[in-house]
Chain A
Amino acid sequence: MTGNDAPVEVPVAPPWKRDFPYETLSEEEVTRREFARYLVLGAGTIAVANVGIAVWTQLRSINTGEPRAITALSAVDVGEPHLFSYPGDDDPAILVRLSDTDIVAFSQKCTHLGCVVYYEPDRGRWHCPCHEGNFEASTGAVISGPPTRPLGRIDVEVRKDGMIWALGRQV
């Protein structure tokens, strides 16, 4: 104990302020500089998020899939599409038999915003109904519409047992 331990006087609010507390505008005022500082802090947070997204985009591994059988060749008629999932169960894919020997398969996700594409045999193209994107049937190249990249192609082959196999997705 020292001699300087005098009790500290705590200011007591008057009864009327305890019963009816209120604050004036000036007590909660945010200065222009503080406001700008908050904004810059937000900008910094967004910048960090953008860098994080870029790093994530760079580092994530893209599943190209393992070879596996899709369906029997005899089960797919010429000009008829066949829906399946590849490389994962949540990745819609579609193949079409363009001729007796020519089979192509693509991811069913439109490269614009991810809607599913459908085969239009009369026009020989893949069509995305969401924003009228169109892709060439055999190559998946963009014909028209907002997409800028071709459909994701899946390599397929017909094996001796008559089954169509997916070999992997092109990146």
Chain B
Amino acid sequence: MRTSDRARRTSSAVVLYVIILVSFQVFLVTVAVEAFQTDAESLAWATAVVSVALFAAAAAFLRYLRP
């Protein structure tokens, strides 16, 4: 069975989105470590919340990948 071009493009886009989200997560780790070093509790919590939200978004994108 051939996969349609539309489905293939959708899969590529989803993987690309997930890569971007994970890259942003790596950046957030550096922000969290700096917040730790400077005792910036509010920044550390904000970073954690955004990080969890990005993870949820990345997990949600998996639904659009064909099995």
Residues of A within 8 A of B (CB): 32-33, 35-37, 39-40, 42-44, 46-47, 49-51, 53-54, 56-58, 62, 111, 114, 149, 171
Knowing A36-B62, A50-B48 touch, does A43 contact B21 (C-beta < 8 A)?
A: yes
Q: How far is the CB of A56 from chain B (nearest CB, A)?
A: 7
* B39 contacts the other chain (CB 8 A): yes
* Number of B interface residues in the complex (CB < 8 A): 36
Contact B25 A32 (CB under 8 A): no
List residues of chain B with CB under 8 Å of any chain A CB. 11-12, 14-15, 18-19, 21-22, 25-26, 28-29, 32-33, 35-41, 44-45, 47-48, 51-52, 54-55, 58-59, 61-62, 65-67
Number of A-B contacts (CB under 8 A): 96
Q: Which residues of B contact A46 (CB under 8 A)?
A: 22, 25-26, 28-29, 51, 55
Q: Are A44 and B59 in contact (CB under 8 A)?
A: yes
Can you give 13 A-B contacts (C-beta < 8 A)? Answer: A32-B12, A32-B65, A33-B65, A36-B65, A43-B54, A46-B28, A47-B52, A50-B28, A53-B35, A54-B32, A57-B39, A57-B41, A62-B39
Point out the residues of chain A lying under 8 angstroms from B47, CB to CB.
Answer: 50, 53-54
Q: Please, how many angstroms separate the alpha-carbon atoms of A42 and B67 in the complex?
A: 20
- Distance, CA A114 to CA B18, complexed state (A): 34
Nearest CB on A from B33, distance (A) = 7
Besides A54-B32, A57-B41, 19 more A-B contacts (Cβ < 8 Å) are: A32-B15, A33-B66, A36-B15, A36-B18, A36-B61, A39-B22, A40-B58, A43-B55, A44-B59, A46-B26, A50-B25, A50-B28, A50-B51, A51-B48, A53-B32, A53-B35, A54-B41, A54-B45, A58-B41
